[in-house]
Chain A
């Protein structure tokens, strides 16, 4: 039993080390996945200045595609 638990712990810790190296947000499946709550709308002051400009053309493209 000790050997099995030790093996599971080694696998879990190694997985966690790889998992933690990624940034927050959705990624590949892992047993450590977290329940995501709905993100609140970020304040306009906090957003980068070019964020709105970058998002605008994509919105238009989506409309044009008709889908």
Chain B
């Protein structure tokens, strides 16, 4: 039943993507972030929906008569540079070519759709729609995980969308932390009280899911997010009490086993998991130093023969750090381009906040920029302990920020297309005139 429903829905949306390519962007994002077909048993889970959406969206771009020009901003320029850079590093990769090429093709597809998304994010409605899809895709696991944590008394572990980068509990926790500020943005923007209440409840459940993941890295990131949330809030006293109360409540709800695990953060030298991370960071650093311009290529630190060249005693496995993984796999120039995407996104968000000051019609842009800044910090702090350097959700967030930056610039310069009038306006005027 699930499979049939999902397949029917996907087919309708695929058809719409060929008429409205932005629908394809939303569908692609949904599939990439949530993998909904993997949650539906039956034939739908085996259909290559992402590829079909990619093709339908490209057809839509050719067929649809709408302006689509990629704005060249700091973020999009860095994204284009990143695509070129990983092309070069993959061409000379030390890691096995089939695996490296597979990951490379995936990354190129992700960034191609992302650049297309930025070109099509031309209205407030579209920007909000993409943020909604991002939030819905992860809130599904936040709400489910939070409810599961509460019902099990904090005894159960939670997991993310199957066959995605955030399937693991640690990765999911950071993913949820990145999503929390976006949920708050939608809550601030929603016109309906019931939706605002639903989003607030989802935020509380997501917080429980983060804590219930038993991830120590996520706990550190949660502390950073809580502080930044408070700093960015307008009503500091209220938010301070609310955030600290919620975090304290969630933490005190967890059982003794959770507390003991979190206390091992202080004695990381005696912890095998933490020790292995430090070893892999060192190995990735050595790989970067051995080939500073191109690194070892995708999956280099995971490949025994590659790791043996710099440190035979080190294990060949995931690096567990966005910083060191990018360095070890692609070398210094690509690392700076990768980090440059975040820097450009941060600068754009700052620009948005400044430009939107004293402009009530752009207040939503400032809200989104502020919350995106919190999300960025959540990713950068949480990602320090995880292999999430190519997480498409985060790059989509940067794409959204740059689209808002372009929107604000157009609004300030007066070149923004005026919103469509309400349906009743053209009808009402002639009727009144006729009386």
Contact = CB atoms under 8 A, between A and B. Distances in A.
Given A20-B126, A23-B419, A61-B433, A34 B361 contact: no
Interface string B410-422: 0001110011111
Interface in A1-26: 1-3, 5-7, 9-10, 12-14, 16-26
Nearest to B416: A46
Contacts of A37: 360-361, 363-364
Given A6-B2, A27-B423, A21 B23 contact: yes
Interface stretch (B129-137, B218-226, B332-340): B129-137
A56 B20 CA distance: 36
B39 A6 contact: yes
Given A6-B36, A6-B140, A46-B414, A22 B125 contact: yes
Interface residues of B, number: 55
Contact of B129 (A1, A19, A26, A43): A19
Contacts of B36: 6, 9-10
B164 interface: no
Contacts of A31: 190, 192, 194-195
A39 to B, nearest CB: 5
Contacts of A23: 123, 125, 419-420
Nearest to B30: A13
Contacts of A35: 189-191, 364
Contact of A42 (B23, B147, B414, B421): B414
A7 B8 CA distance: 13
Contacts of B39: 2, 6
A45 interface: yes
Interface in B88-133: 123-126, 128-129, 132-133
A16 B422 contact: no
Nearest to B191: A33
Interface class of chain B by DSSP: helix
Interface residues of A, number: 43
A33 B192 contact: yes
A38 B429 CA distance: 21
Contact of B418 (A14, A33, A42): A42
Nearest to A44: B414
A26 B132 contact: no
B13 interface: yes
B9 interface: yes
Interface in B351-379: 359-361, 363-364
Contacts of A52: none
Contact of A21 (B16, B40, B194, B415): B16
Nearest to A39: B361
Contacts of A49: none
A32 B135 CA distance: 12
A14 B13 contact: yes
Given A5-B143, A5-B144, A25 B30 contact: no
A10 B414 contact: no
A23 to B, nearest CB: 4
A25 B136 contact: no
Given A14-B9, A27-B423, A65-B435, A20 B140 contact: no
Q: Which A-B residue pairs are the 8 nearest by beta carbons?
A: A46-B414, A25-B419, A20-B129, A23-B420, A24-B419, A61-B433, A26-B422, A33-B191
19 contacts: A1-B147, A3-B2, A5-B143, A6-B40, A9-B140, A14-B12, A16-B129, A20-B126, A22-B420, A23-B419, A25-B421, A26-B422, A31-B190, A31-B194, A33-B192, A39-B419, A61-B432, A62-B429, A67-B432
